[in-house]
């Protein structure tokens, strides 16, 4: 199995742990039960897409619209190299083209020393973890009681960390459960007032090291910007041959 297919299979398995899977061949849609945030609702190709998938894309749009969700795709380009052209012909727009970055567990950098920063498990304060995560990614609302209860009740073997700067929650980081030696470092978020101090890098290192301690041999992530990529490179991640694509339907 190629690295692209291996990582794509892992991503599909991981998102299926938490979301409802709705087949729309040759795609599978994944929907969060409550949260409409785009990053929690998206489709993944089941196989390399051949021919004209317009009918399937029409059905996919209907599944998303019926749930008041934005039609989206997140996938590894090399797994379905013809899909991008098909999506663009159908009116989808590219959100992000990001180099897939990887790091062997043994090569994760030592944690940077940041005065006043303490990193704890999110279980110490799920409300702060969820609220900081929302705000770091552009959502102003505080985490609801239902969200806190649901997250506290979920035990999946992954990593969820909260960064406290002088006692105040300012950052979050996570790594997905390890399967076949793979884990994705994800959800690294820092509040505006605490950025550019190395905190994002510190959370990345902490999440990667925790995943490695749980058996991960290869860690991967897709940076959301060039600045983020620079942060991840400083702590040991390197861009490889694979690329992650994110498409959404603006209609």
Do 81 and 45 lie in one domain? The reply is yes
Residue 185's CB is within 10 A of a number of other CB atoms, namely 29
Do 127 and 230 lie in one domain? The reply is yes
Tokens of 8: 């794509």
Do 123 and 215 lie in one domain? The reply is yes
The pTM of the full predicted model, rounded to 2 decimals, is 0.85
Do 114 and 96 lie in one domain? The reply is no
Contact 200, 188 (CB under 8 A): yes
Contact 221, 232 (CB under 8 A): yes
| Nearest CA among 215, 166, 165, 212 for reference residue 190 | 165
Distance in angstroms (rounded) separating the CA atoms of residues 7 and 10: 5
- Please give the DSSP secondary-structure letter assigned to residue 113: P
Do 93 and 114 lie in one domain? The reply is no
Do 91 and 114 lie in one domain? The reply is no
The last residue of one of the domains, among 100, 125, 155, is 100
User: Which pLDDT score is estimated for 101?
Assistant: 94
Do 130 and 77 lie in one domain? The reply is no
State how many domains the chain has: 2
Do 15 and 90 lie in one domain? The reply is yes
CATH number of the domain to which 34 belongs: 3.40.630.30
Do 117 and 206 lie in one domain? The reply is yes
| Nearest CA among 65, 57, 114 for reference residue 90 | 57
Distance in angstroms (rounded) separating the CA atoms of residues 236 and 204: 10
250 inside domain:
no
Distance in angstroms (rounded) separating the CA atoms of residues 176 and 15: 10
193 inside domain:
yes
Domain enclosing residue 138, as ranges = 109-235
Q: Which residues contact 142 (CB under 8 A, 6 or more apart)?
A: 127, 131, 134
241 inside domain:
no
Each of the 251 residues of the chain gets a pLDDT tens digit; together they read 677 888 888 888 888 888 999 999 999 999 998 888 888 899 999 998 888 899 999 999 999 999 999 999 999 999 999 999 999 999 999 999 999 999 999 999 998 899 999 999 999 999 999 999 999 988 888 999 998 998 888 877 899 999 999 999 999 999 999 999 999 999 999 999 999 999 999 999 999 999 999 999 999 999 988 999 999 999 999 998 889 999 999 87
């Amino acid at each position: 199995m190629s690295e692209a297919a291996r990582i794509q299979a892992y991503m599909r398995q991981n998102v299926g742990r938490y979301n409802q899977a709705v087949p729309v061949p040759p795609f599978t849609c994944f929907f969060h039960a409550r949260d409409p945030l785009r990053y929690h609702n998206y489709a993944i190709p089941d196989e390399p897409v051949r021919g004209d998938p317009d009918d399937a894309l029409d059905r996919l749009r209907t599944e998303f619209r019926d749930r008041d969700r934005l039609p989206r795709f997140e996938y590894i380009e090399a797994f379905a190299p013809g899909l991008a052209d098909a999506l663009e012909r159908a009116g989808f727009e590219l959100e992000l083209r990001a180099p897939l970055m990887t790091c062997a567990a043994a090569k994760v950098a030592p944690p940077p020393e940041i005065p006043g920063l303490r990193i704890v498990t999110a279980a110490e304060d799920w409300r702060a973890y969820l609220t900081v995560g929302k705000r770091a990614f552009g959502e102003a609302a505080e985490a609801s009681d239902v969200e806190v209860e649901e997250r506290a009740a979920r035990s999946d073997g992954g990593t969820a960390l909260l960064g406290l700067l002088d006692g105040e929650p300012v950052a979050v980081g996570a790594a997905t459960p390890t399967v076949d030696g793979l884990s994705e470092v994800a959800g690294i978020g820092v509040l505006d007032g605490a950025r550019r101090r190395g905190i994002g890098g510190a959370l990345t290192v902490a999440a990667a090291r925790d995943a490695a301690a749980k058996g991960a041999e290869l860690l991967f992530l897709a940076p959301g910007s060039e600045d983020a990529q620079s942060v991840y490179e400083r702590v040991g991640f390197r861009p490889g041959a694979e690329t992650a694509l994110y498409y959404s339907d603006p209609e």
